Amino acid sequence: MTATAVDHIGSLVTNDPHAGRGPLGLIHDAAVVFDEGVVQWVGSHSRAPAADARHDLQGRAALPGFVDSHAHLVFCGDRAAEFAARMSGETYDAGGILATIAATRSATNAELAATTGRLVAEARRTGTTTIECKSGYGQTVADELRGLQVAAAFTTETTLLAAHLPPPEFAGRADEYVAMVCDWMIPVCAPHARWIDVFCEAGAFDADQCRAVLRAGIGAGLGARVHGNQLGPGPGVRLAVELGAASVDHVTHVTDADIDALAGGSTVATLLPGADFSTRGPYPDARRLRDAGVTLALATDCNPGTSYTTSMPFVVALAVRDLHLSPDEAVWSATAGGAAALRRTDIGVVEVGARADLIGLDAPSHLHLAYRPGVDLVHEVWKDGVLQ
Ligand code: NIG
Ligand code: FE
Protein backbone atom coordinates (compact mmCIF):
# COMPACT_ATOMS: atom_id res chain seq x y z
CA MET A 1 0.00 0.00 0.00
CA THR A 2 1.43 3.38 -1.05
CA ALA A 3 -0.80 6.31 -0.24
CA THR A 4 -0.40 9.37 -2.47
CA ALA A 5 -1.50 12.87 -1.49
CA VAL A 6 -2.31 15.40 -4.20
CA ASP A 7 -2.13 18.63 -2.23
CA HIS A 8 -2.04 22.42 -2.52
CA ILE A 9 -5.15 22.22 -4.72
CA GLY A 10 -6.27 25.86 -5.02
CA SER A 11 -9.90 24.95 -5.65
CA LEU A 12 -11.31 21.40 -5.76
CA VAL A 13 -14.64 20.37 -7.28
CA THR A 14 -15.76 17.28 -5.34
CA ASN A 15 -19.40 17.06 -6.53
CA ASP A 16 -20.15 16.12 -2.91
CA PRO A 17 -22.30 18.92 -1.49
CA HIS A 18 -21.56 17.71 2.07
CA ALA A 19 -17.82 18.11 1.55
CA GLY A 20 -17.68 21.79 0.60
CA ARG A 21 -19.48 24.83 -0.75
CA GLY A 22 -22.50 24.69 -3.05
CA PRO A 23 -23.74 21.85 -5.24
CA LEU A 24 -20.21 21.22 -6.52
CA GLY A 25 -18.91 20.78 -2.95
CA LEU A 26 -16.04 23.20 -3.61
CA ILE A 27 -13.08 23.07 -1.23
CA HIS A 28 -10.37 25.74 -1.31
CA ASP A 29 -6.77 24.81 -0.41
CA ALA A 30 -7.66 21.15 -0.63
CA ALA A 31 -5.87 17.80 -0.64
CA VAL A 32 -6.92 14.34 -1.82
CA VAL A 33 -5.29 11.15 -0.55
CA PHE A 34 -5.66 7.90 -2.44
CA ASP A 35 -4.34 4.38 -2.31
CA GLU A 36 -4.68 1.47 -4.74
CA GLY A 37 -6.65 3.71 -7.09
CA VAL A 38 -9.32 4.59 -4.53
CA VAL A 39 -9.84 7.90 -2.70
CA GLN A 40 -9.14 7.51 1.05
CA TRP A 41 -9.44 11.08 2.28
CA VAL A 42 -10.61 14.50 0.95
CA GLY A 43 -10.47 17.79 2.78
CA SER A 44 -8.54 20.87 3.68
CA HIS A 45 -4.83 20.78 2.83
CA SER A 46 -3.87 21.78 6.36
CA ARG A 47 -5.54 18.69 7.84
CA ALA A 48 -4.34 16.12 5.30
CA PRO A 49 -3.09 12.88 6.84
CA ALA A 50 0.42 11.58 6.20
CA ALA A 51 1.04 9.88 2.87
CA ASP A 52 3.91 7.97 1.32
CA ALA A 53 4.14 10.32 -1.66
CA ARG A 54 3.15 13.95 -2.14
CA HIS A 55 2.25 15.67 -5.37
CA ASP A 56 2.03 19.47 -5.15
CA LEU A 57 -0.61 21.06 -7.40
CA GLN A 58 0.81 24.53 -6.61
CA GLY A 59 -2.57 26.17 -6.28
CA ARG A 60 -4.07 24.78 -9.48
CA ALA A 61 -7.75 23.86 -9.63
CA ALA A 62 -8.80 20.21 -9.73
CA LEU A 63 -12.00 18.35 -10.52
CA PRO A 64 -13.15 14.77 -11.06
CA GLY A 65 -12.09 13.28 -14.39
CA PHE A 66 -14.63 13.84 -17.14
CA VAL A 67 -17.13 11.04 -17.75
CA ASP A 68 -17.89 10.96 -21.48
CA SER A 69 -20.97 8.77 -21.52
CA HIS A 70 -21.60 8.77 -25.29
CA ALA A 71 -18.97 8.09 -27.94
CA HIS A 72 -18.68 6.10 -31.17
CA LEU A 73 -14.98 5.30 -31.39
CA VAL A 74 -14.86 2.07 -33.42
CA PHE A 75 -14.85 3.02 -37.10
CA CYS A 76 -12.73 3.65 -40.12
CA GLY A 77 -12.94 6.28 -42.81
CA ASP A 78 -13.18 10.04 -42.99
CA ARG A 79 -16.20 12.25 -43.61
CA ALA A 80 -14.51 15.64 -43.71
CA ALA A 81 -16.07 16.35 -47.14
CA GLU A 82 -19.54 15.70 -45.70
CA PHE A 83 -18.77 18.16 -42.90
CA ALA A 84 -17.53 20.78 -45.37
CA ALA A 85 -20.68 20.36 -47.48
CA ARG A 86 -22.81 20.89 -44.37
CA MET A 87 -20.96 24.04 -43.51
CA SER A 88 -21.90 25.33 -46.96
CA GLY A 89 -25.59 24.59 -46.49
CA GLU A 90 -26.26 20.83 -46.79
CA THR A 91 -28.41 19.36 -44.03
CA TYR A 92 -27.47 16.25 -42.02
CA ASP A 93 -29.79 13.31 -42.72
CA ALA A 94 -27.83 10.41 -41.14
CA GLY A 95 -27.15 8.91 -44.60
CA GLY A 96 -23.41 9.29 -44.06
CA ILE A 97 -23.59 6.48 -41.49
CA LEU A 98 -23.66 4.09 -44.49
CA ALA A 99 -20.29 5.41 -45.71
CA THR A 100 -18.75 4.70 -42.30
CA ILE A 101 -20.38 1.25 -42.21
CA ALA A 102 -18.75 0.40 -45.55
CA ALA A 103 -15.32 1.66 -44.44
CA THR A 104 -15.58 -0.07 -41.08
CA ARG A 105 -16.60 -3.41 -42.53
CA SER A 106 -13.59 -3.42 -44.84
CA ALA A 107 -11.08 -2.41 -42.13
CA THR A 108 -8.83 -4.89 -40.34
CA ASN A 109 -9.11 -5.40 -36.59
CA ALA A 110 -5.72 -3.69 -36.20
CA GLU A 111 -6.92 -0.64 -38.14
CA LEU A 112 -10.04 -0.37 -36.00
CA ALA A 113 -8.06 -0.76 -32.78
CA ALA A 114 -5.61 1.92 -33.92
CA THR A 115 -8.42 4.45 -34.49
CA THR A 116 -10.12 3.64 -31.19
CA GLY A 117 -6.85 3.77 -29.28
CA ARG A 118 -5.88 7.10 -30.82
CA LEU A 119 -9.23 8.64 -29.88
CA VAL A 120 -9.19 7.25 -26.33
CA ALA A 121 -5.68 8.68 -25.85
CA GLU A 122 -6.81 12.02 -27.29
CA ALA A 123 -9.77 12.07 -24.89
CA ARG A 124 -7.52 11.19 -21.94
CA ARG A 125 -5.26 14.16 -22.69
CA THR A 126 -8.24 16.50 -22.38
CA GLY A 127 -9.27 15.03 -19.03
CA THR A 128 -11.64 12.17 -19.86
CA THR A 129 -11.04 9.30 -17.44
CA THR A 130 -14.14 7.23 -18.28
CA ILE A 131 -15.47 6.87 -21.80
CA GLU A 132 -18.41 4.90 -23.11
CA CYS A 133 -17.76 3.31 -26.49
CA LYS A 134 -20.41 2.11 -28.93
CA SER A 135 -20.22 -0.35 -31.76
CA GLY A 136 -22.75 0.41 -34.50
CA TYR A 137 -20.77 0.84 -37.71
CA GLY A 138 -20.82 -2.87 -38.55
CA GLN A 139 -24.50 -3.86 -38.42
CA THR A 140 -23.66 -7.52 -39.01
CA VAL A 141 -23.25 -10.00 -36.17
CA ALA A 142 -19.54 -10.47 -36.90
CA ASP A 143 -18.80 -6.77 -37.33
CA GLU A 144 -20.69 -5.69 -34.19
CA LEU A 145 -18.96 -8.45 -32.22
CA ARG A 146 -15.50 -7.33 -33.28
CA GLY A 147 -16.46 -3.69 -32.68
CA LEU A 148 -17.28 -4.58 -29.07
CA GLN A 149 -14.09 -6.59 -28.70
CA VAL A 150 -12.06 -3.62 -29.93
CA ALA A 151 -13.93 -1.29 -27.54
CA ALA A 152 -13.43 -3.66 -24.59
CA ALA A 153 -9.66 -3.26 -24.87
CA PHE A 154 -10.11 0.40 -23.86
CA THR A 155 -13.18 0.64 -21.60
CA THR A 156 -15.62 -1.41 -19.57
CA GLU A 157 -18.45 0.87 -20.75
CA THR A 158 -19.13 -0.99 -23.98
CA THR A 159 -22.37 -0.51 -25.88
CA LEU A 160 -23.93 -2.64 -28.58
CA LEU A 161 -25.51 -0.05 -30.90
CA ALA A 162 -27.39 -2.84 -32.62
CA ALA A 163 -29.94 -0.67 -34.41
CA HIS A 164 -28.07 2.33 -35.84
CA LEU A 165 -29.24 2.31 -39.47
CA PRO A 166 -30.57 -0.61 -41.55
CA PRO A 167 -27.51 -1.71 -43.54
CA PRO A 168 -27.65 -1.86 -47.36
CA GLU A 169 -28.44 -5.59 -47.50
CA PHE A 170 -31.56 -4.89 -45.39
CA ALA A 171 -32.59 -1.68 -47.23
CA GLY A 172 -36.38 -1.35 -47.01
CA ARG A 173 -36.52 -4.38 -44.69
CA ALA A 174 -35.90 -2.84 -41.27
CA ASP A 175 -38.30 -5.30 -39.57
CA GLU A 176 -36.28 -8.22 -40.86
CA TYR A 177 -33.05 -6.56 -39.71
CA VAL A 178 -34.58 -6.09 -36.24
CA ALA A 179 -35.60 -9.75 -36.10
CA MET A 180 -32.03 -10.73 -36.97
CA VAL A 181 -30.72 -8.41 -34.24
CA CYS A 182 -33.06 -9.88 -31.61
CA ASP A 183 -32.64 -13.54 -32.58
CA TRP A 184 -28.96 -13.61 -33.44
CA MET A 185 -26.90 -10.45 -32.90
CA ILE A 186 -27.91 -9.82 -29.29
CA PRO A 187 -27.40 -13.41 -28.05
CA VAL A 188 -23.92 -13.46 -29.64
CA CYS A 189 -22.84 -9.94 -28.65
CA ALA A 190 -24.44 -9.43 -25.22
CA PRO A 191 -21.63 -11.15 -23.28
CA HIS A 192 -19.25 -8.52 -24.70
CA ALA A 193 -21.31 -5.44 -23.86
CA ARG A 194 -22.69 -3.61 -20.85
CA TRP A 195 -25.34 -1.61 -22.74
CA ILE A 196 -27.76 -1.88 -25.66
CA ASP A 197 -28.48 1.24 -27.75
CA VAL A 198 -30.78 2.16 -30.66
CA PHE A 199 -31.21 5.14 -33.00
CA CYS A 200 -34.92 5.96 -32.65
CA GLU A 201 -35.51 8.48 -35.42
CA ALA A 202 -37.53 8.83 -38.65
CA GLY A 203 -35.37 7.19 -41.32
CA ALA A 204 -33.59 4.94 -38.81
CA PHE A 205 -35.79 2.78 -36.53
CA ASP A 206 -39.34 3.40 -35.25
CA ALA A 207 -40.65 2.96 -31.70
CA ASP A 208 -41.80 -0.66 -32.15
CA GLN A 209 -38.51 -1.70 -33.73
CA CYS A 210 -36.48 0.05 -31.01
CA ARG A 211 -38.67 -1.40 -28.25
CA ALA A 212 -38.07 -4.92 -29.61
CA VAL A 213 -34.29 -4.42 -29.74
CA LEU A 214 -34.12 -2.80 -26.29
CA ARG A 215 -36.29 -5.52 -24.71
CA ALA A 216 -34.14 -8.24 -26.26
CA GLY A 217 -31.02 -6.49 -24.94
CA ILE A 218 -32.50 -6.04 -21.47
CA GLY A 219 -33.52 -9.70 -21.52
CA ALA A 220 -29.89 -10.60 -22.28
CA GLY A 221 -28.73 -8.63 -19.23
CA LEU A 222 -27.82 -5.30 -20.85
CA GLY A 223 -28.77 -1.82 -19.64
CA ALA A 224 -30.69 0.36 -22.10
CA ARG A 225 -29.69 3.62 -23.77
CA VAL A 226 -31.44 5.45 -26.60
CA HIS A 227 -30.49 7.97 -29.31
CA GLY A 228 -33.72 9.95 -29.46
CA ASN A 229 -35.28 13.18 -30.73
CA GLN A 230 -32.09 14.31 -32.48
CA LEU A 231 -33.35 15.34 -35.91
CA GLY A 232 -37.04 15.84 -35.20
CA PRO A 233 -39.79 15.14 -32.69
CA GLY A 234 -40.44 11.46 -32.06
CA PRO A 235 -41.02 8.64 -29.61
CA GLY A 236 -37.41 8.13 -28.43
CA VAL A 237 -37.59 10.01 -25.15
CA ARG A 238 -40.84 8.40 -24.02
CA LEU A 239 -39.65 4.94 -25.07
CA ALA A 240 -36.46 5.41 -23.03
CA VAL A 241 -38.44 6.39 -19.94
CA GLU A 242 -40.96 3.57 -20.49
CA LEU A 243 -38.18 0.98 -20.51
CA GLY A 244 -36.21 2.55 -17.63
CA ALA A 245 -33.23 3.34 -19.86
CA ALA A 246 -30.22 4.80 -18.07
CA SER A 247 -30.05 7.63 -20.59
CA VAL A 248 -31.70 9.15 -23.65
CA ASP A 249 -29.27 11.10 -25.74
CA HIS A 250 -29.57 14.20 -27.97
CA VAL A 251 -33.08 15.23 -26.70
CA THR A 252 -33.15 18.22 -29.04
CA HIS A 253 -36.73 18.14 -30.35
CA VAL A 254 -38.93 17.57 -27.32
CA THR A 255 -42.53 18.26 -26.33
CA ASP A 256 -43.94 19.12 -22.90
CA ALA A 257 -45.03 15.47 -22.60
CA ASP A 258 -41.46 14.31 -23.25
CA ILE A 259 -40.13 16.62 -20.55
CA ASP A 260 -42.82 15.53 -18.08
CA ALA A 261 -41.93 11.90 -18.76
CA LEU A 262 -38.23 12.57 -18.14
CA ALA A 263 -38.94 14.57 -14.99
CA GLY A 264 -41.08 11.72 -13.61
CA GLY A 265 -38.64 8.93 -14.45
CA SER A 266 -35.10 7.85 -13.72
CA THR A 267 -33.68 8.35 -17.21
CA VAL A 268 -30.89 10.92 -17.58
CA ALA A 269 -31.03 13.29 -20.57
CA THR A 270 -27.59 13.37 -22.18
CA LEU A 271 -27.01 16.47 -24.26
CA LEU A 272 -24.52 16.36 -27.12
CA PRO A 273 -23.89 19.96 -28.18
CA GLY A 274 -20.87 18.93 -30.27
CA ALA A 275 -23.27 17.17 -32.65
CA ASP A 276 -25.54 20.21 -32.88
CA PHE A 277 -22.48 22.41 -33.45
CA SER A 278 -21.09 20.22 -36.26
CA THR A 279 -24.43 19.64 -37.98
CA ARG A 280 -25.51 23.28 -37.54
CA GLY A 281 -28.67 21.91 -35.98
CA PRO A 282 -30.61 23.59 -33.22
CA TYR A 283 -29.40 23.09 -29.67
CA PRO A 284 -31.59 21.36 -27.07
CA ASP A 285 -33.42 23.55 -24.57
CA ALA A 286 -31.23 22.60 -21.64
CA ARG A 287 -32.71 25.27 -19.36
CA ARG A 288 -36.23 23.97 -19.82
CA LEU A 289 -35.09 20.39 -19.10
CA ARG A 290 -33.05 21.39 -16.10
CA ASP A 291 -35.72 23.67 -14.66
CA ALA A 292 -38.20 20.77 -14.94
CA GLY A 293 -35.90 18.73 -12.70
CA VAL A 294 -34.41 16.46 -15.37
CA THR A 295 -30.89 15.15 -14.61
CA LEU A 296 -28.56 16.30 -17.39
CA ALA A 297 -25.33 14.76 -18.63
CA LEU A 298 -23.00 16.22 -21.25
CA ALA A 299 -21.01 14.02 -23.63
CA THR A 300 -19.03 14.39 -26.86
CA ASP A 301 -20.90 11.94 -29.17
CA CYS A 302 -17.47 11.59 -30.78
CA ASN A 303 -18.10 10.04 -34.22
CA PRO A 304 -16.87 10.70 -37.76
CA GLY A 305 -20.18 12.13 -38.98
CA THR A 306 -21.81 14.54 -36.59
CA SER A 307 -19.28 15.34 -33.89
CA TYR A 308 -15.65 14.54 -34.51
CA THR A 309 -14.37 15.81 -31.18
CA THR A 310 -13.12 14.01 -28.08
CA SER A 311 -12.90 17.21 -26.05
CA MET A 312 -15.09 17.47 -22.97
CA PRO A 313 -13.70 20.98 -22.23
CA PHE A 314 -15.07 22.04 -25.64
CA VAL A 315 -18.44 20.47 -24.78
CA VAL A 316 -18.49 22.30 -21.43
CA ALA A 317 -17.75 25.60 -23.18
CA LEU A 318 -20.56 24.98 -25.71
CA ALA A 319 -22.96 24.01 -22.93
CA VAL A 320 -22.33 27.29 -21.15
CA ARG A 321 -22.36 29.52 -24.22
CA ASP A 322 -25.08 27.86 -26.28
CA LEU A 323 -27.12 25.64 -23.94
CA HIS A 324 -27.24 28.38 -21.29
CA LEU A 325 -26.07 26.14 -18.46
CA SER A 326 -24.07 27.88 -15.75
CA PRO A 327 -20.39 26.86 -15.62
CA ASP A 328 -21.16 24.96 -12.40
CA GLU A 329 -24.06 23.09 -14.03
CA ALA A 330 -21.98 22.25 -17.09
CA VAL A 331 -19.04 20.94 -15.06
CA TRP A 332 -21.39 18.85 -12.90
CA SER A 333 -23.12 17.41 -16.00
CA ALA A 334 -19.77 16.53 -17.62
CA THR A 335 -18.63 14.63 -14.51
CA ALA A 336 -21.34 13.52 -12.04
CA GLY A 337 -24.04 13.74 -14.74
CA GLY A 338 -22.07 11.40 -17.01
CA ALA A 339 -21.65 9.02 -14.09
CA ALA A 340 -25.43 9.06 -13.53
CA ALA A 341 -25.98 8.34 -17.23
CA LEU A 342 -23.78 5.26 -16.80
CA ARG A 343 -25.41 4.37 -13.46
CA ARG A 344 -22.05 4.62 -11.71
CA THR A 345 -21.47 6.03 -8.22
CA ASP A 346 -17.71 5.41 -8.11
CA ILE A 347 -16.78 8.05 -10.70
CA GLY A 348 -17.65 11.71 -11.38
CA VAL A 349 -17.11 12.55 -7.72
CA VAL A 350 -14.13 13.03 -5.40
CA GLU A 351 -15.15 11.33 -2.18
CA VAL A 352 -13.93 8.48 -0.01
CA GLY A 353 -14.39 5.20 -1.86
CA ALA A 354 -14.51 6.74 -5.35
CA ARG A 355 -12.01 5.97 -8.08
CA ALA A 356 -8.98 8.29 -7.89
CA ASP A 357 -9.73 9.99 -11.23
CA LEU A 358 -8.71 13.64 -11.14
CA ILE A 359 -7.85 16.50 -13.47
CA GLY A 360 -5.44 19.27 -12.47
CA LEU A 361 -6.05 22.50 -14.41
CA ASP A 362 -3.68 25.27 -15.34
CA ALA A 363 -6.29 27.66 -13.97
CA PRO A 364 -7.43 28.99 -10.60
CA SER A 365 -10.91 27.44 -10.88
CA HIS A 366 -13.15 25.14 -12.94
CA LEU A 367 -14.91 28.26 -14.30
CA HIS A 368 -11.99 28.71 -16.68
CA LEU A 369 -13.07 25.62 -18.65
CA ALA A 370 -15.85 27.72 -20.18
CA TYR A 371 -14.21 31.12 -19.72
CA ARG A 372 -11.15 30.12 -21.81
CA PRO A 373 -12.65 28.11 -24.71
CA GLY A 374 -10.28 26.28 -27.01
CA VAL A 375 -7.34 26.62 -24.61
CA ASP A 376 -5.71 23.44 -23.34
CA LEU A 377 -5.98 23.94 -19.57
CA VAL A 378 -5.48 20.30 -18.60
CA HIS A 379 -2.18 20.22 -16.73
CA GLU A 380 -2.41 16.62 -15.55
CA VAL A 381 -4.77 13.66 -15.42
CA TRP A 382 -4.91 10.95 -12.73
CA LYS A 383 -6.76 7.75 -13.62
CA ASP A 384 -7.20 5.04 -10.97
CA GLY A 385 -4.58 6.87 -8.92
CA VAL A 386 -1.99 6.79 -11.68
CA LEU A 387 -0.61 9.98 -13.24
CA GLN A 388 -1.19 9.66 -16.99
O1 NIG B 1 -25.12 10.21 -32.44
N2 NIG B 1 -27.45 9.67 -34.44
C3 NIG B 1 -26.90 8.64 -34.72
N4 NIG B 1 -25.60 8.39 -34.62
C5 NIG B 1 -24.57 9.38 -34.54
C6 NIG B 1 -24.18 9.89 -35.85
C7 NIG B 1 -23.56 8.87 -36.63
C8 NIG B 1 -22.97 9.33 -37.95
O9 NIG B 1 -23.43 10.28 -38.61
O10 NIG B 1 -22.04 8.62 -38.32
C11 NIG B 1 -24.94 10.50 -33.60
O12 NIG B 1 -25.03 11.68 -33.99
FE1 FE C 1 -24.34 9.09 -30.96
Where do you find CATH 2.30.40.10 in the chain? Answer: 4-65+348-387
pLDDT at 95 over 90: no
What lies within 8 Å, CB to CB, of 98 at 6+ separation is 165, 167, 168
Tell me, in angstroms, the distance from the centre of ligand 1 to residue 303's CA: 7
Over range 336-350, report the average pLDDT: 98
Q: Is the CB of 249 under 6 A from ligand 1?
A: no
Kindly report, as residue ranges, where domains of CATH 3.20.20.140 are found in the chain: 66-341
Instruction: Please report which confidence band the pLDDT of residue 94 belongs to, taking 50, 70 and 90 as the band edges.
Output: confident
Tell me the percentage of the chain whose pLDDT exceeds 70: 100
Residue 97 beta carbon below 6 angstroms from any ligand 1 atom: yes
Q: At residue 1, does pLDDT exceed 90?
A: no
Arithmetic mean of pLDDT over the chain: 97
For ligand 1, pick from 69, 165, 227, 283 the residue to mutate: most ligand atoms within 8 Å of CB: 227
DSSP 278-298: HHTPPPP-HHHHHHTT--EEE
| Average confidence (pLDDT) over 34-46 | 97
Q: Is 75 in the pocket of ligand 1 (CB under 6 A)?
A: no
* Cα 39 to Cα 34, 169, 283, 350, distances in angstroms: 4, 50, 37, 7
Residue 213 Cα to ligand 2 midpoint, Å, equals 17
pLDDT for 96? 93
Cβ(87)–Cβ(280) below 8 Å? yes
pLDDT at 219 over 80: yes
CATH number of 4-65+348-387: 2.30.40.10
Judged by DSSP in three states, 188 sits in helix
352 CA distance to ligand 2 centroid (A)? 33
- N-terminal to C-terminal alpha carbon distance within the chain: 20
pLDDT at 5: 97
Question: Which H/E stretch holds residue 11?
Answer: strand 4-12
pLDDT digits (tens, 9 = 90+) for 205-216: 999 999 999 999
Q: Is 104 in the pocket of ligand 1 (CB under 6 A)?
A: no
Asked whether 303 lines ligand 1 (CB < 6 A), one says: yes
User: Best mutation site among 104, 298, 303 for ligand 1, i.e. most ligand atoms within 8 A of its Cβ?
Assistant: 303
CATH number for domain 66-341, candidates 3.40.640.10, 3.20.20.140, 3.50.50.60, 3.90.1720.10? 3.20.20.140
* Residues, Cβ < 5 Å to ion ligand 2: 301
Confidence category of residue 261, pLDDT binned at 50, 70, 90: very high
324: annotated binding-site residue?
A: no
- The C-alpha angle with vertex 115 and arms to 111 and 117, in degrees rounded to 5, equals 110
What separation in Å is there between the alpha carbon of 384 and the centre of ligand 1?
30
209 is in an annotated binding site: no
Which of the listed residues 70, 72, 79, 119 should we mutate to test ligand 1's pocket, taking the one with most ligand atoms within 8 A of CB?
A: 72
Q: What is the mean pLDDT of residues 13-39?
A: 97
pLDDT of residue 276: 97
CA distance 197 to 186: 11
The pLDDT confidence band at residue 339, using thresholds 50, 70 and 90, is: very high
- Averaged pLDDT, 187-200: 98
pLDDT cut 90: percent of the chain above it: 99
Which amino acid, 355?
R
pTM of the model: 0.97
Q: How far is the CA of 31 from the centre of ligand 2 (A)?
A: 37
Across 75-84, average pLDDT: 96
CB 23 within 8 A of CB 357: no
